[in-house]
Structure 1
Amino acid sequence: MPDADAGEKGGRAARAAALPALRAAIDRVIPADAWPAGWEGGVGDYLTRDPISADRDLLWAWPELIGLAARLDDEARRAGAADFAALDTVAQDAMLARISTGSSAEAFDALRRVSWEGYYASSDGRHPAGLDMVGFRGVPEGVTPIEPEPLKTVASKAVQSHYDAVIVGSGPGGGVAAQVLTAAGKRVLLVERAPYLRAAEVRGDHLHGKRNAVYWPTVGPGPGHPRVAQLPEGDRVVDGTGDASLYGLNADTVGGGTRIWQGMAWRFMPEDFRMASLYGTPEGASIADWPVSYDDLEPYYTKAEWALGVAGEEGGLTSRTPRSAGYPMPAMGTEPSRELLGAAADRLGWGWGPIPLAINSVPWEGRAACVRCAQCIGNTCPVDAKNGSQSTFIPRAIATGLCDLLPDAEVIEVRDGERSSGVTIMADASTDPVELTVSADVVVVSAGAVETARLLLASGLGNDHVGRHLHDHRFTTVLGHSADPVKPYVGPGHSVATLDHVHAATIPWGGGVIVDLMGLLPLTSAGEPAPGVPGWGSGHKEWMRHGRANLFGVFGMGQEIPMPTSRVTLADVRDRWGRPGAALRKDVHWASQQVEDELAVQGTRWLDAAGITQVRRQGGPATASAAGEHSCGTARMGTSAENSATDPFGRVWGTRRVVACDSSLHPTNGSVNPTLTIVANAFRVAEHLVAEWPR
């Protein structure tokens, strides 16, 4: 491959020529003190990985960095020096300050970004000096990470031609369906489009974890899965290889998002099931009541908490959600932020309590208790204490001998029929693809709000409601300065909450929950320092070492008002199989913005009561994301085909044997994390499916 060799040699030469200037500049962005300067502290290793042809992360940065290095050397020579590295540090700082606000500002921003990534982020087995400097330890000292026993999978050549059920997607909805159907004696094929990854491959990477992904998320989906984000400024094609915030935050892995979540396991409020009745439907919105009530779902909530494994506490956060049983595990232990905000809530007269988490607070079902690692969200658990579909529902289904788990396989078409349904699968998708045709009594589509809608639309199934009403939650962050550090690098993340502004007079349209802000990864803090902190240099490094620990805040999450114009449709771009990708349009209703704004007001009150100073709302009003990790509504349940995409038990209107079983069923999404509701509703849907099995 002479052309490739020549390209690599040329690229290597250009990079090598730029390194002296870049090293000098990086060492001014992160200067030496008691801790190493940037280059020796990790940025050098980050930038000089070999071979360069494999360094796909930084392909975007090198043209900017090479151009910046050339300009620095040119200006230094005009000033009489041999090159930029030959200048004294005062002159280097002055030149960088000029460039940072001039025509090369974007190149300087690229330099800062790669400096932060190299010094403050763990990835590819690197542990740079910045992590030790700020006291970050991903896995607590003395804890040896384990590798759980891998789930038994089926080879593509061993897939049967017919199953009682084919389940598309292995997240919480699909996992529950697999457990329920196999327990009833049904033979199930559980299809997951992502390859099977070991836990070690999905842990400790601050650049590729889904929640904080900067490059090529470890939990996919990877190239060949394009989407079109329909933005106010125009359409933009995005693939699953970069920043997850625009593409969509749902994880592609066995277990779906529950493999890498923090595990907030809330029940919706009774009022959440009758939003239209309580608040009406303003112009432009599509608020709807659920076809079931809280009382209908309550037994399934209890079943979900015990089948999943939730650690919680009855009290201030459960008084408005009647319960038929307590939590299976005690709440996670306290931490300084809980004590501080709990006392402030008492002064305000607010109810509060520890957040219910689907994480083992004590050893549970043969797996260890949480070790409070500092990187829970977006990573697999080092001791397998995180409860998700991959550690609960799917293993139980496989243990029956009736569930074939087929990873690295994508369902590209679903068929419905009077006597049988079926799917077309591209198996061994990342290696040597083979097409499989499988028939089934029923197909359960549990691929998430975006992919469930895309698959149904691409298969020609359902009515005009399929894909519509795409919504998530509204989010706001309020930050300030704490006199003493109250959020150390201790997991699992969010710890304390108040529900006093959910369906209350303080916030309209159902309001939302307010929680303490999780501990931020060092890389996040480096890129978003407090106001007044220098953007680089010794002042920034000093703030990272000391001032960062006093950054503290709260996070509000509230109702997002669904709109029929917010939707998933089929795009012109094609995926790796030649099928249409998803086009995502997300509009923001004015009522949603009201929820977000008032969450910020109440969050500020809480921080003020806690003695936090310099309180500010981060970033101002948020804009719509194309598809968040809580996306729902695209196959909403309802009482008729006139008002919904599916019947009250997930059967797609107009079909006999196709059932949706995930967040796409939610007509509205409550004001808390929806996963426990996905699980509870999946139990309800799957049990009804068993009772009313199509013949």
Structure 2
Amino acid sequence: MSFDICIVGSGAGASPVAYTLAKAGAKVLILEKGPWLTEKEFFKDELAISLRDSYNPKLADEQHVIEEEYQTADGENYWQGEPTSESGWSFWNGNVVGGSSNFMSGYFHRLKPVDFKLKSTFGDIEGANIVDWPISYDELEPFYAQVERDVGVSGKVVSHPHQEPRSTDFPYPPLVDHQVSDWIDKAAKNIGYHSMPVPRAILSTPAMGRKSCEYSGYCSSYGCSTGAKGSGRAALLNHAVATGNLTIKANAKVYHIASDDEGKISAIHYYDSQGREQTATAKIYVVACQAVETSRLLLASKGKKFPQGLANNSGQVGKNLVFSGGGTGKGDFLFADLTTEKQAQLKQVGPFINRALQDWYQIDDKSFSGANQQGQAKGGTIDFLFYQNPIARAQGQQFNDENELVWGEQLQKNLKEEFTSYKTLRFEVFNDWLPTDDCFVSLDTEVTDKWGQAVAKVRIGAHQHDMVVGEYLAKKGEKLLESMGAKNITSSVSSYPPTNLMAGGCRFGNDPKTSVLNKYCQAHEVNNLYVTDGSFMPTGGSVPYTFTIYANAFRVAEHIKHRWQESII
């Protein structure tokens, strides 16, 4: 069968393209490496998620090599790689139809206008490859609104110091709040902070053939058994398949993209579920298999015109990979310090905290060591949450304060204390992971996957500025917990990347020498290639990326649709 559009991947960057083009009448093919699971397969099995990583490949079959920086006894720095099959550190995020959007928490903060112009707003930072985006917030805003409607975002707009411009309110009312959310609101007001409700890509009311949230308490890292969560599969691909114009081939491992003598893509080669070599052809090709794997696939797809990899004569594919800067913090609320009513509120299970702080999304503080000459710097977001699931809460109780393993009566005592004497409120800090020359994807020359293909080697160097901003924000989060009356307050900021928040590697821009894609996410060097996952982002912003990936993919989908329609007139 001949296709108009062939898409590699099926997550947040792929599903809007498939949805838009299939609804327009184009014949679309999706090639997805993982299986096609539905709500029936998404059980609230904590062992499967917390301990067995059931929705990702076995690292013995498919892995990465992660390069970290070390220092010799003489103080000299060097980089050394370790296969993830040895370290156990997985960089996979959900290899199924719909991708990692099946397992996201669904915190859907928009980027803000300043995120599109970091360089012109704050200036250069030594050692960081900061650039302005080739598009503005205003160009992306209508597509943020489309995501809120078509994917389904529940929320409420409230005024706060860094509220971004919006054309509409949220189309679905907020989810039910955990009662501790009121504690946060009151404490924030008392110390001059501005607590805001967090928009979530989870339906608060039934819509679009999907059920609403049932507040099971199992959301982050779990597939949604009601369809309330706005995964690419539940929200978009199901509707696209219903048009009769979308074909999804699951368990299809793409290993090479062929190009002709003119530099256009001529075919995609993949292994089917039986390990047989297959070929797919189309007029337009879209790659959207997450930042690391997209870069790996392009680098592995060498051809006559692209000896360094497809669309990589500039040498930019894989460069300027970004994750998310920041860290975590927590504070304990001791039941002995609380009234019976407060204890009951704290023990509530199911509803979300859904509160965030963005007072320091732009820092204006001349005492801040990371500020520019004007005393300004890009800041970030603080989101509050509970770890409600028992196995996740029990993790760590098998050790004492000296990190020694305990068992028997001591273990029983630790577990009883964890579940009956207090509850921990946590926060997560999101700030920019600045792009640098020491964070990129290349091909490993020695380690291969089960198909014999070179795996991605990922260098994860972080800029020190990220740590400084993260620590500044973490102290603000600690202050709120202190105002709430929490005890044992701590926070930590790390230069290790959260592997579920990755972007860059094929940044878009106006200059083909310093970017891989143009403003429409079309490869500068390959006329019939688009990249629509988070790879396009030249800087990451200070919020989770999925919302922006969705919005940009809808924007690019409109461009591809018009191009396809013009070709058939």
TM range (shorter): 0.7 to 0.9
Q: Give, in whole Å, the separation in 1 of the partners of 2:547 and 2:7.
A: 20
Name the aligned partner's letter for residue 609 of structure 1: S
Richer in strand (by share): 2
Q: Please tell me the residue identity of whatever aligns with 1:326.
A: D
- Structure 2 counterpart of 1:397, from 237, 240, 249: 240
Code of the aligned partner of 1:358:
A
**1:507-546 map, 5 Å:** 509-529=377-397, 536=407, 537=410, 538-546=412-420
Alignment partner of 1:286 is 2:129: yes
Structure 1 contact 377–493 (Cα < 8 Å) conserved = no
Q: CA deviation at 1:321?
A: 1.2
Q: How many residues align?
A: 523
CA distance in 2, matches of 1:242, 1:306: 41
- Asked if 1:305 is matched to 2:145, the reply is no
SS across alignment from 2:417: helix
Q: Secondary structure at the match of 2:233?
A: coil
Would the aligned equivalents of 2:380 and 2:431 in 1 still touch at CA under 8 Å?
yes
Larger gyration radius, structure 1 or structure 2: 1
TM-score, normalisation: structure 1: 0.71
| 1:235 alignment partner in structure 2 | 81
- Structure 2 matches for 1:534-613, cutoff 5 A? 536=407, 537=410, 538-547=412-421, 549-572=422-445, 573-613=447-487
Which of 635, 638, 657 aligns to 2:528? It is 657
Deviation at 1:341, TM superposition (A): 0.8
Distance verdict in 2 for CA 1:249–1:266, change over 3 Å:
farther
Residues 317-356 of structure 1 aligned to structure 2 (within 5 Å): 320-356=163-199
Higher helix share: 1
Judge conservation of contact 2:27–2:246 (CA < 8 Å) in 1.
yes
**Any conservation in 1 of the 2:18–2:246 contact (CA below 8 Å)?**
yes
Task: State which drifts further: 577-586 or 225-234.
Answer: 225-234
2:374 aligned partner: none
Provide the rounded CA distance (Å) in 1 between the counterparts of 2:268 and 2:275: 12
CA contact (8 A) 2:440 2:460 kept: yes
Distance 2:346 2:272 in 1: 44
Structure 2 Cα separation of the partners of residues 419 and 440 of structure 1: 15
Give yes or no for contact 1:420–1:657 (8 Å, CA) kept in 2: yes
| 8 A Cα contact 2:162 2:359, kept in partner | no
Q: Which runs of 5+ in 1 are unaligned?
A: 1-159
d(CA) in 2 for partners of 1:517 and 1:383? 22
Alignment CA distance shift 1:492-1:165 (3 Å): farther
Q: C-alpha displacement at 1:521, in angstroms?
A: 2.8
Shift of 1:216: 4.3
> Which residue of structure 1 aligns with residue 73 of structure 2?
none
**C-alpha deviation, 1:673, in angstroms:** 1.1
Question: Is contact 1:414–1:443 with CA below 8 Å preserved after alignment?
Answer: no
Structure 1 residue 256, shift from structure 2 partner? 0.9
- Between 1:510-519 and 1:481-490, the stretch displaced more is 481-490
User: Conserved in 2, the CA contact under 8 Å of 1:377 and 1:492?
Assistant: no
Q: Say if 2:61 is the partner of 1:224.
A: yes
Give the letter aligned to residue 526 of structure 1: A
What's the Cα RMSD here? 2.4
Q: Deviations over 1:601-622 (max 9, x none)?
A: 11111111112122112xx441
User: What's the secondary structure of 1:594's corresponding residue?
Assistant: helix
Query: Is 1:437 equivalent to 2:279 in the alignment?
Result: yes
- TM-score scaled by structure 2? 0.87
Shift of 1:493: 4.5
Deviations 1:623-665 (A, max 9, x none): 323x611100111110111221111111122111111001000
446 and 317 in structure 1: CA distance in 2 versus 1, 3 angstrom threshold: farther
CA contact (8 A) 1:413 1:425 kept: yes
SS in 2 for 1:581: strand
Structure 2 partner of 1:642? 513
Amino acid corresponding to residue 494 of structure 2 in structure 1: A
Match of 2:31 in 1: 191
After superposition, residues 376-391 of structure 1 pair within 5 angstroms as 376-391=219-234
* Matches for 1:68-83 after TM superposition, within 5 Å: none
The answer as to 2:533 corresponding to 1:622 is: no
Task: State which of 97, 100, 118 in structure 2 corresponds to 1:275.
Answer: 118
Contact 1:568–1:582, Cα closer than 8 Å, also in 2: yes
Report 1 or 2 for greater relative contact order, CA contacts < 8 Å, sequence distance ≥ 6: 2
